[in-house]
Amino acid sequence: MKKSIRCLAKVALLSTIASIFVSLPLLENATAQSSDSRLRTQFTGSDKCLDIINDGLNNKLTMAACGNFSGQLWSIKPSKYKGYYYLRTQFTGKNKCLDIINDGVNNKTIMATCGNFSGQLWKIEPTQTAGFFRLKTQFTGKNKCLDIINDGVNNKTIMADCGNYSGQFWSLSI
């Protein structure tokens, strides 16, 4: 009998932990702080925002329908390097930063533990189109820009050669 009570207690505890774990990242009402912005591109339009895929890993980026989601609320924090910033979301928290995977190709984005990594140091440069900016990293250099893959779905990010492409023209707004 003691064994079955302990088993039931463990099941109840695990169930409680699982329900807390599953519900924690979801904010029913995401609240923009004064420093939070939504990131949109000219290419995908004002109805799509840069977001984090809520898949348990919570490290993949996507362009998704804009809404009241904490993965779409980005904070832009200065780094110790002049002109470079860390990009974080409310959803992934202050310890995860937008980064570039160092795999030799160096064009894939990911949310990774923040640190002193050049792939997490973002430069926000104005374009000739008012209200739009290019996003570049110290790691990939001045000739690579954050872009949206034009594949018909148009929701995947990539670091691509900078050019006059609307997928590289980002706006920062609430």
Query: Which stretch of 33-42, 88-97, 134-143, 155-164 has the lowest confidence by average pLDDT?
Result: 33-42
Most confident by average pLDDT, 17-21, 30-34, 46-50: 46-50
Q: Which pLDDT belongs to residue 34? A: 57
Q: Which pLDDT belongs to residue 7? A: 35
Reply yes or no on whether the pLDDT at 9 is more than 80.
no
Report the distance separating Cα 116 and Cα 124, nearest Å.
18
Q: 31-173 is classed in which CATH architecture?
A: Trefoil (2.80)
Q: Which helix (H) or strand (E) covers residue 54, if one does?
A: none
Three-class SS state of 44: coil
User: Whole-angstrom distance between the N-terminal and C-terminal Cα of the chain?
Assistant: 57
pTM: 0.81
Q: Which residues of 18-51 are buried (b: 16+ CB within 10 A; e: fewer)?
A: eeeeeeebeeeebebeeebbbbbbbbbeeebbbb
